[in-house]
Amino acid sequence: MAAFDFFAVDVRPYFTHNPFFNQPHSYWVWTTTANSNGAFFPTIEQHPSLVLFSADLLSPGFTHNDWAPLSETSEGTHQRDLSRNPILRALKADHYIETHRFCGHRFMRASYSYETCHLIFEEDDKVPK
Protein backbone atom coordinates (compact mmCIF):
# COMPACT_ATOMS: atom_id res chain seq x y z
CA MET A 1 0.00 0.00 0.00
CA ALA A 2 1.14 3.54 -0.72
CA ALA A 3 0.23 6.56 1.41
CA PHE A 4 0.07 10.25 0.53
CA ASP A 5 -0.55 13.48 2.38
CA PHE A 6 0.04 14.59 5.93
CA PHE A 7 -2.48 12.61 7.97
CA ALA A 8 -2.04 9.35 6.06
CA VAL A 9 0.71 8.18 8.41
CA ASP A 10 -1.54 8.42 11.47
CA VAL A 11 -2.92 4.92 10.85
CA ARG A 12 0.52 3.32 11.02
CA PRO A 13 0.51 2.70 14.83
CA TYR A 14 -2.40 0.29 14.32
CA PHE A 15 -0.16 -2.09 12.35
CA THR A 16 2.60 -4.32 13.69
CA HIS A 17 4.72 -3.37 10.66
CA ASN A 18 4.87 -0.47 8.23
CA PRO A 19 2.04 -1.04 5.68
CA PHE A 20 3.32 1.72 3.37
CA PHE A 21 6.17 0.95 1.03
CA ASN A 22 6.65 4.64 0.17
CA GLN A 23 6.64 6.12 3.71
CA PRO A 24 9.73 5.01 5.64
CA HIS A 25 8.81 6.89 8.84
CA SER A 26 5.93 6.47 11.28
CA TYR A 27 5.54 10.25 11.32
CA TRP A 28 5.37 13.01 8.74
CA VAL A 29 8.88 14.37 8.13
CA TRP A 30 8.93 18.15 8.54
CA THR A 31 11.96 19.29 6.58
CA THR A 32 12.83 21.42 3.60
CA THR A 33 15.25 18.77 2.32
CA ALA A 34 12.68 16.05 1.64
CA ASN A 35 9.18 15.97 0.21
CA SER A 36 7.22 12.91 1.28
CA ASN A 37 4.78 13.39 -1.60
CA GLY A 38 7.57 14.23 -4.05
CA ALA A 39 7.99 10.63 -5.14
CA PHE A 40 4.33 10.34 -6.14
CA PHE A 41 4.78 9.53 -9.83
CA PRO A 42 7.53 6.92 -9.33
CA THR A 43 5.36 5.35 -6.60
CA ILE A 44 2.24 5.19 -8.78
CA GLU A 45 4.29 3.73 -11.65
CA GLN A 46 4.74 0.69 -9.38
CA HIS A 47 0.93 0.22 -9.49
CA PRO A 48 0.23 -0.32 -5.79
CA SER A 49 -2.94 -2.30 -5.21
CA LEU A 50 -4.08 0.20 -2.54
CA VAL A 51 -3.45 3.91 -2.10
CA LEU A 52 -4.33 5.79 1.07
CA PHE A 53 -4.79 9.56 0.78
CA SER A 54 -5.78 11.83 3.65
CA ALA A 55 -7.75 15.04 3.32
CA ASP A 56 -9.20 17.74 5.54
CA LEU A 57 -12.72 18.76 4.67
CA LEU A 58 -14.78 21.63 6.01
CA SER A 59 -16.79 20.54 9.03
CA PRO A 60 -19.78 22.12 10.76
CA GLY A 61 -17.73 22.31 13.96
CA PHE A 62 -16.32 25.45 15.50
CA THR A 63 -12.80 26.46 16.45
CA HIS A 64 -12.57 28.50 19.60
CA ASN A 65 -10.64 31.74 19.20
CA ASP A 66 -7.69 31.68 21.64
CA TRP A 67 -7.71 35.49 21.83
CA ALA A 68 -11.39 35.83 22.72
CA PRO A 69 -13.52 34.41 25.54
CA LEU A 70 -14.40 30.76 24.96
CA SER A 71 -18.07 31.69 24.56
CA GLU A 72 -17.18 33.39 21.29
CA THR A 73 -16.39 31.08 18.42
CA SER A 74 -15.49 31.49 14.80
CA GLU A 75 -16.67 29.04 12.21
CA GLY A 76 -13.94 27.28 10.22
CA THR A 77 -13.76 28.55 6.66
CA HIS A 78 -10.84 26.65 5.12
CA GLN A 79 -11.78 23.84 2.78
CA ARG A 80 -9.53 21.81 0.56
CA ASP A 81 -10.78 21.56 -2.99
CA LEU A 82 -10.15 17.90 -3.70
CA SER A 83 -11.05 18.26 -7.38
CA ARG A 84 -7.90 20.35 -7.87
CA ASN A 85 -5.54 18.15 -5.88
CA PRO A 86 -2.78 16.97 -8.26
CA ILE A 87 -2.37 13.60 -6.54
CA LEU A 88 -6.07 12.78 -6.73
CA ARG A 89 -6.22 13.93 -10.35
CA ALA A 90 -3.26 11.70 -11.22
CA LEU A 91 -4.84 8.74 -9.44
CA LYS A 92 -8.01 9.20 -11.47
CA ALA A 93 -5.98 9.49 -14.68
CA ASP A 94 -4.22 6.23 -13.79
CA HIS A 95 -7.62 4.51 -13.38
CA TYR A 96 -7.75 4.37 -9.60
CA ILE A 97 -11.18 4.67 -8.03
CA GLU A 98 -12.15 5.59 -4.49
CA THR A 99 -13.51 2.48 -2.80
CA HIS A 100 -13.67 3.52 0.87
CA ARG A 101 -13.79 6.72 2.91
CA PHE A 102 -13.22 6.86 6.66
CA CYS A 103 -13.87 10.24 8.28
CA GLY A 104 -13.72 11.66 11.76
CA HIS A 105 -13.58 15.02 13.48
CA ARG A 106 -10.19 16.47 14.36
CA PHE A 107 -10.11 17.91 17.87
CA MET A 108 -9.02 21.56 17.98
CA ARG A 109 -9.27 24.16 20.75
CA ALA A 110 -11.96 22.45 22.84
CA SER A 111 -14.08 21.66 19.78
CA TYR A 112 -13.49 20.56 16.20
CA SER A 113 -13.16 22.43 12.96
CA TYR A 114 -12.21 19.89 10.31
CA GLU A 115 -13.33 16.51 9.22
CA THR A 116 -10.25 14.46 8.45
CA CYS A 117 -10.89 11.69 5.95
CA HIS A 118 -8.81 8.76 4.79
CA LEU A 119 -9.64 7.88 1.20
CA ILE A 120 -8.76 4.42 -0.07
CA PHE A 121 -8.16 4.00 -3.79
CA GLU A 122 -7.84 0.80 -5.78
CA GLU A 123 -7.06 0.24 -9.43
CA ASP A 124 -10.23 -0.04 -11.51
CA ASP A 125 -10.18 -3.66 -12.66
CA LYS A 126 -12.67 -2.83 -15.43
CA VAL A 127 -10.07 -0.78 -17.30
CA PRO A 128 -7.81 -2.86 -19.57
CA LYS A 129 -4.14 -2.68 -18.64
CA proximity to 98, closest of 61, 65, 51: 51
Cα dihedral: 73, 85, 24, 11 (round 10): 50
Residue 25 has pLDDT above 80, yes or no: no
Lowest mean pLDDT among 21-30, 57-66, 73-82, 102-111: 73-82
Q: Whole-prediction pTM value?
A: 0.73
Number of domains in the chain: 1
pLDDT digits (tens, 9 = 90+) for 30-50: 777 766 666 788 888 898 999
What pLDDT sits at residue 110? 65
What pLDDT sits at residue 74? 43
- Whether residue 128 is contained in a domain is answered as no
Domain membership of residue 67 as a residue range: 2-123
- Whether residue 129 is contained in a domain is answered as no
- Whether residue 89 is contained in a domain is answered as yes
- Whether residue 87 is contained in a domain is answered as yes
- Whether residue 73 is contained in a domain is answered as yes
Environment class of 9 (CB within 10 Å of its CB; exposed 0-12, middle 13-18, buried 19+):
buried
- Whether residue 46 is contained in a domain is answered as yes
User: Residue 98 and residue 88: Cα distance in Å, rounded?
Assistant: 10
For the chain, what's the residue count? 129
